[in-house]
Amino acid sequence: MKDAAGRQKREPGPQPAARRRELRRWSGVPPARFLGSNQIELLEGGDALFPRMCDAIHAAQRDVWLATYIFHDDPAARTVLDALTEAAARGVAVHVVVDGFGSMGTLEAIRSAMGSAGVQLEVFRPLERWYAWLQPGQLRRLHQKLCVCDERVAFVGGINLIDDRHDMNHGWTEQPRLDFAVQITGPLVQSVYATARAMWARAHLARAWRHEVRTLVRGTHPARKAMALIRELRGAPGPAAPVEEAPMRAAFLVRDNLRQRRAIERSYVDAIRHARERVDIAVPYFYPGRGFRSALRRAAKRGVRVRLLLQGKVDYRIAALAARALYDELQGHGVRIYEYTPAFLHAKVALVDDDWATVGSSNIDPLSLLLNLEANVVVRDPAFVSALAARFDAAFAVSAEVPAGQARGGGWRGWLRRAVIASAANAYLRLAGITGRY
């Protein structure tokens, strides 16, 4: 088309606002809501998770999306890597996103294996250049552990792709770490799928944003390729599943730095505030904010049995010191504290009464509650809660209960210790761009 002067008239492209909306849809995650008619199975450790995950990947016909903090290079992780590369080799669209810090040591090896097979690998906040360490945003990591195959089956939990008996800082151990995940089929899979896809898309956009934004704004031919990629990634998941009352009812909760900053923390606190009989929490890194601690204290005060299962075999001494600084405060209000000593504790699970349970990646500390990208499943189903309760009871049976007063966190020394740790936590959060008291 030509203008009045005979010059070639440029076709108008989509306006910047429309393009921004398209990119937000590409990298957005759905809000949490409870959906019925799911089948959710509790899996303990990588020994249970990895074979199930590999079976689902081998059966995939269309696509596989995987997000993880650590993708290690040991025999257990290699079984998953082999399944992913085999799927890509037979034409399945395989997308993997790993965290740039958690997978830093093995990134070169997995990138080589995946690249040769056609797996589309992205790295969330990579640290391959020295100046990347100077960016405050690098403190916010991808800590989710997600896998979705053909939008049919999903896996969510706290288990990294590493052998249960292998610790990256302490080497090999005789006993497997205590950790959990869930296998999901049903309507909730769509929420996990949308989130796993969004994590890959965000990492991809962060890597190539200069080129892609430039081409999008100009409306040139490469822009059409970018928009085609966005449409491919977004897919057509179909209409949202209605809220149902049929078992198993569950919600997929995400903690991100956009619209769902405190979704997981609020779910915990709300459940604890409504507890009538029991609250059991297992978590390796425990330093909750004042509102969370208040909910625990109030529950114990009104007669609810509140038990915490924390690390006895310590992997990071600073994290253990932070948790132990709170022992006397909580025990003084009736909260019972146990330390798990047979192996490293990595589980992030909890149950309240007989009809609320959560399994996921979120610790109860400033990093997980306010910084990292996390994902938990909350299940409202008595049978599932009963299965998790049995695992709790087995873990408590081999743990040591901490006698009240043993932490020596009372008096002015205890107050000073908590003040120092709280100040350090707030300084870390301010450095990461989070304001407000914790």
Q: What is the mean pLDDT of residues 342-356?
A: 96
User: Active-site residue numbers?
Assistant: 143, 145, 150, 346, 348, 353
Cα 272 from Cα 291, distance rounded (Å): 11
State both tokens at 419: 């003040």
Q: How confident is the model at residue 208 (pLDDT cuts 50, 70, 90)?
A: low
Nearest 5°: the CA angle 195, 25, 69 is 30
Helix (H) or strand (E) holding 390: helix 382-397
pLDDT for res 325: 87
Helix (H) or strand (E) holding 77: helix 75-89
Looking at the DSSP bridge assignments, the partners of residue 282 are 309, 349
CA 235 to chain centre: 23
Query: Of 135-149, 217-231, 332-346, where does the model show the most confidence?
Result: 332-346
The per-residue DSSP string of 346-403 comes to ---EEEETTTEEEEES--BSHIIIIISBEEEEEEE-HHHHHHHHHHHHHHHHTEEEPP
pLDDT for res 260: 78
Q: Which domains, ranges and CATH numbers included, belong to the chain?
A: 16-234 (3.30.870.10), 249-431 (3.30.870.10)
Whether omega before 168 lies within 30 degrees of 0, making that bond cis, reads no
- Residue 261 φ then ψ, to 5°: -70, -35
Residue 234 has pLDDT above 50, yes or no: no
Q: What is the mean pLDDT of residues 429-438?
A: 51
pLDDT for res 14: 45
Which of 61-70, 76-85, 414-423 bottoms out in mean pLDDT, i.e. has the lowest? 414-423
CA 300 to chain centre: 28
Q: What is the mean pLDDT of residues 25-43?
A: 77
Q: Are 384 and 42 in contact (CB under 8 A)?
A: yes
